[in-house]
A and B are shown apart, each in its own frame.
Chain A
Amino acid sequence: MNWLSQVVAVTGVTLRSIPQRLGSATVAVIGIAGVVIVFTAVLSIAEGFRAAMMGTGDPQTVIVLRAGSDTEMTSGFSDEHVKLISEAPGIEQGPNGPHASPELFVIVGHPLKRSGTDANVPLRGVSVGALQVRPGLKIVEGRMFQPGTNEIIVGRAASRQFAGLSVGTSVRWGEGSWQVVGIFDTGGSVAESEIWSDAKVLQPAYRRGNSYQSVYLRLDSPDSLQKLKDALTIDPRLNVTVIREPDYYQQQSRVLQSIIRTIGFAIAALMGLGAVFGAVNTMYSAVASRTREIATLRALGFGRSPVVVSVLIESLVLSLVGGAIGGLLAWAAFDGYQTATMNWQSFSQVAFAFAVTPALLMRGLIYAAVMGLVGGLLPAIRAARLPVVTALREL
């Protein structure tokens, strides 16, 4: 018999004997499943957050900020600056002039639904061009606000996470009262966490005079960025940073993502170690309970390496079953779970949904396989080294 058919034969025997050791096999499967649940769950938070931040990416939309500002929150432009920026080349033109929206980005203390306590809710003051620079935005309920009034529209995620923000209600922030007249959808991106009002109405409410914080522009083609950048940097009256929308939001999510990933990977690594130790025990006892069987196979002329491979495959199969169960449970329990957190970089709330993606499930399975192989290695070697004669004598 050649090596391969030996492996197939021994592995067949091994796998068919699993039902006799159902108890300890189940323990191993459960251990691995637990690790994969936690691994998948924690990383689905990072994944969902990333999806919300990156979903904002339209490479044809650019954001202009004051040079040196890495968030809209700390940027600022006067009226004249805004005019200069909107007149730059490379911007898409419509019947009413360039597609540009000078905006204000502030926060407002408004209660979270889940706790009833105030959170920093992002409030954006936009201009008439806001819808042209964001072609992906749809009003899904109600209507757009009337410019010049105290009307607001609310992102779909914001209306889900924050209290009392449905069409027809009105909210009080400080001295001013605002009417919710519409809900908008941007396909789950970060903009859905925001509340929008007319920038001109927001300026006096936040004592911003005639100033804005950022200018959103729609490029006439995705390649016009350089043309626009050159024109704006050459202008001695301006001192700006120009950045594509997806790049901006990627930057904005950096800190939080790295925190979640650091914590997530550390937890998963430690848990994995724990599960490997558990798997080692399981496989050792599997080998121990099959001592005579393995010795018989060896006496019949099967080589050492097919025995090693068969034990490894058993361990692999058990861990993959565990990984699949864990991944499915995590998917069932967490995928799409809606929540909101504070994005430390913009100091405001971002709503997002946990995302258990196929790639993440795949990583969970790979991780399970690694745990299984590592856990099975020592016991496999032990199995191969069993002295045939004494082992046959064992009860």
Chain B
Amino acid sequence: MKYLPLVWRNLMRRKIRTIFTILSILIAFVLFGALMAIRAAFSLGVEVAGADRLMMIHKVSIIQLLPKSYSERIRATEGVTDLSHANWFGAYYQDPNTGFFANMAVDPESWLRMYPEYVVPDDQKKTWLANRSGAIIGIDTARKFKWKVGDRIPLISPIYRKPDGTPWEFTVDGIYDSPLKGADKTQFFFHWEYLNETFRNSGYFNGQVGWYVFRVADPATSDVLAKRIDVMFANSPAETKTATEKAFVSDFAKQIGDIGAIMMAIAAIVMFFILFVAGNAMSQSIRERTNELGVLKTLGFGDGQVLSLVLLESCVIAIVGGGLGLLIAWVIVAQGDPTNGMLPSFIFPVRDLVVGMALVLALGLGTGLLPAFQASRLKIVDALRRTG
């Protein structure tokens, strides 16, 4: 600790170089944070998908609907403890460019049981369950559109057009939040019955459901159970495809492409180049002072002391730059989704934060090590003779 003033003096010798080195490290880590957030967002919340939830869709494609009558048969299957269902509604508010949010027609009571991570105040929940044209919305969407409990919201769905051509009207009965980091707080849920009473026995909808979601008693047997249920509906007019919610989410993310790999590749290139440049500046500033290090040794500093002095200097630069960078990244990511609704769970995963900190330390040690080692091995005579 007592060497800190010395380190500080060294850093301030060439203020401009130190500042710009710190700044470029800072930028590298801001980028690192942002890229990791993008990567996490494109994995679409696979980390928070319930391990004990199975999803079932039509085998041919997700746009085809399943009979409502399947619910009884699924519920009766051994190992299934709870069941709910939903239909993708695909509606927008005012016009399609106002921003995307997922909206779906669900079975209200079982839906909230199925997703306990969506927390709604009890009185709001009670109102919603009793109000067929009511909706529960995520807090992020409520904030974005400035919707409050009690507001009437007209939505236009190109998939489910009301026969008279008017928009659907919903009352906001409740706003859900979630303690779970990375949970999607942008969704809009309303009663499947509301859809059903408008469309009963007609058109595309015809009283069917988009997908089923059910809870299993033992997640370890999910795959076996999924297969058993699919066999149950084989050779029926609507064959099914069942898998864990995690599998569905991760397959969906894979459809977008390997965004994760692309982001990692970019992050790696960026980090490599910026840190290469910054690291070079750091090493150079130490090489330039070789004869000073010789003076220190003349004064009686040991090899180890010189080594740690130099390492300390490079670590200070790395920690200041990298630490600030990670902090700024954190602040930027906390502003939320930059794409107007397409990436609802935009967070800076803790795991990546830890990786970032490890990288900061690695950078400090890595850039300092070679010059520090050389410095500690210096013969005083040679060092004093060098002019930098």
A contact set with B: CB distance below 8 Å: 24, 27-28, 30-31, 33-35, 37-38, 41-42, 68-71, 73-74, 106-109, 112, 114-115, 117-120, 173-175, 205-207, 255, 258-259, 262-263, 266-267, 270-271, 273-275, 277-278, 280-282, 284-285, 339-342, 344, 347, 349, 378, 395
Question: A188 to chain B: closest CB distance in Å?
Answer: 18
By a CB distance below 8 angstroms, the chain A residues around B34 are 266-267, 270
Q: Are the C-beta atoms of B266 and A42 separated by less than 8 Å?
A: yes
> Can you show 16 pairs from A to B with CB atoms below 8 A apart?
A34-B269, A68-B158, A107-B62, A109-B60, A119-B255, A173-B60, A174-B59, A175-B237, A207-B64, A270-B27, A275-B24, A277-B21, A281-B277, A285-B281, A341-B255, A378-B16
Question: B353 to chain A: closest CB distance in Å?
Answer: 18
A275 to B278 CA separation, bound complex (whole angstroms): 10
Which chain B residues in 131-160 approach chain A with CB under 8 Å? 156, 158-159
B206 (CB) vs chain A CBs: closest residue:
A207
CB < 8 Å neighbour of A280 from B20, B61, B256, B276: B20
Does B251 lie at the interface of the complex (its beta carbon under 8 Å from any beta carbon of A)? yes
B92 (CB) vs chain A CBs: closest residue:
A70
A341 to B381 CA separation, bound complex (whole angstroms): 64
A24 to B59 CA separation, bound complex (whole angstroms): 60
Q: Are the C-beta atoms of A275 and B277 separated by less than 8 Å?
A: yes
A271 (CB) vs chain B CBs: closest residue:
B270
A326 (CB) vs chain B CBs: closest residue:
B273
Q: Mark B358-388, 1 if CB is under 8 A from A, else 0.
A: 0000000000000000000000000000010
CB < 8 Å neighbour of A263 from B38, B161, B237: B38
CB < 8 Å neighbour of A285 from B24, B235, B284: B284
Q: Are the C-beta atoms of A267 and B251 separated by less than 8 Å?
A: no
Which chain B residues in 13-58 approach chain A with CB under 8 Å? 16-17, 20-21, 23-24, 27-28, 30-31, 34-35, 38, 57-58
Does B274 lie at the interface of the complex (its beta carbon under 8 Å from any beta carbon of A)? yes
Q: Are the C-beta atoms of B61 and A109 separated by less than 8 Å?
A: yes
A26 (CB) vs chain B CBs: closest residue:
B280
Q: Are the C-beta atoms of A273 and B27 separated by less than 8 Å?
A: yes
Q: Are the C-beta atoms of A112 and B255 separated by less than 8 Å?
A: yes
Q: Are the C-beta atoms of B273 and A35 separated by less than 8 Å?
A: yes
A115 in contact with B254 given A277-B23, A395-B387 (CB within 8 Å): yes
Question: A249 to chain B: closest CB distance in Å?
Answer: 16
B95 (CB) vs chain A CBs: closest residue:
A70
A114 to B321 CA separation, bound complex (whole angstroms): 39
Question: A180 to chain B: closest CB distance in Å?
Answer: 17
B65 (CB) vs chain A CBs: closest residue:
A207
A224 to B250 CA separation, bound complex (whole angstroms): 47
Does B302 lie at the interface of the complex (its beta carbon under 8 Å from any beta carbon of A)? no
Does B229 lie at the interface of the complex (its beta carbon under 8 Å from any beta carbon of A)? no
CB < 8 Å neighbour of A27 from B161, B269, B276: B276
CB < 8 Å neighbour of A31 from B57, B159, B276: B276
Question: B40 to chain A: closest CB distance in Å?
Answer: 14
Q: Are the C-beta atoms of B239 and A175 separated by less than 8 Å?
A: yes
By a CB distance below 8 angstroms, the chain A residues around B284 are 24, 285
Does B272 lie at the interface of the complex (its beta carbon under 8 Å from any beta carbon of A)? yes
Report the number of A-B residue pairs with Cβ-Cβ less than 8 Å: 159
A341 in contact with B257 given A38-B270, A74-B90, A267-B31 (CB within 8 Å): yes
Does B342 lie at the interface of the complex (its beta carbon under 8 Å from any beta carbon of A)? yes
Q: Are the C-beta atoms of B274 and A275 separated by less than 8 Å?
A: yes
B239 (CB) vs chain A CBs: closest residue:
A174
Does B338 lie at the interface of the complex (its beta carbon under 8 Å from any beta carbon of A)? yes
CB < 8 Å neighbour of B63 from A30, A347, A378: A347
Question: A139 to chain B: closest CB distance in Å?
Answer: 26
Question: A241 to chain B: closest CB distance in Å?
Answer: 11
Q: Are the C-beta atoms of A106 and B28 separated by less than 8 Å?
A: no
A41 to B35 CA separation, bound complex (whole angstroms): 15
The 6 A-B residue pairs with the shortest CB-CB distance in the complex, in nearest-first order = A34-B273, A278-B277, A74-B158, A274-B27, A277-B24, A174-B60
Does B241 lie at the interface of the complex (its beta carbon under 8 Å from any beta carbon of A)? yes
Does B96 lie at the interface of the complex (its beta carbon under 8 Å from any beta carbon of A)? yes
Does B339 lie at the interface of the complex (its beta carbon under 8 Å from any beta carbon of A)? yes
Question: B318 to chain A: closest CB distance in Å?
Answer: 15
Q: Are the C-beta atoms of B20 and A109 separated by less than 8 Å?
A: no
A347 to B286 CA separation, bound complex (whole angstroms): 56
By a CB distance below 8 angstroms, the chain A residues around B90 are 74
By a CB distance below 8 angstroms, the chain A residues around B161 are 68
A375 (CB) vs chain B CBs: closest residue:
B20
Question: B88 to chain A: closest CB distance in Å?
Answer: 9
By a CB distance below 8 angstroms, the chain A residues around B20 are 277-278, 280-281, 284
A328 to B162 CA separation, bound complex (whole angstroms): 55
By a CB distance below 8 angstroms, the chain B residues around A349 are 255
A266 to B281 CA separation, bound complex (whole angstroms): 26
A42 to B35 CA separation, bound complex (whole angstroms): 13
A259 to B20 CA separation, bound complex (whole angstroms): 31
Q: Are the C-beta atoms of B274 and A69 separated by less than 8 Å?
A: no
B387 (CB) vs chain A CBs: closest residue:
A395
By a CB distance below 8 angstroms, the chain A residues around B237 are 175
Q: Are the C-beta atoms of B31 and A274 separated by less than 8 Å?
A: yes
Q: Are the C-beta atoms of B63 and A271 separated by less than 8 Å?
A: no
Which chain B residues in 256-295 approach chain A with CB under 8 Å? 256-258, 266, 269-270, 272-274, 276-278, 280-281, 284
Question: B355 to chain A: closest CB distance in Å?
Answer: 18
A123 (CB) vs chain B CBs: closest residue:
B61
A38 in contact with B269 given A74-B159, A174-B59, A284-B16 (CB within 8 Å): yes
Q: Mark B79-95, 1 if CB is under 8 A from A, else 0.
A: 00000000000100000
Best-buried of B23, B30, B35, B257 by chain A (most CB within 10 Å): B257
Q: A34-B269, A281-B24 are in contact. List 7 more A-B contacts (CB 8 A).
A: A37-B269, A38-B269, A38-B270, A114-B258, A270-B27, A277-B27, A285-B281
A277 to B254 CA separation, bound complex (whole angstroms): 37
A112 to B255 CA separation, bound complex (whole angstroms): 8
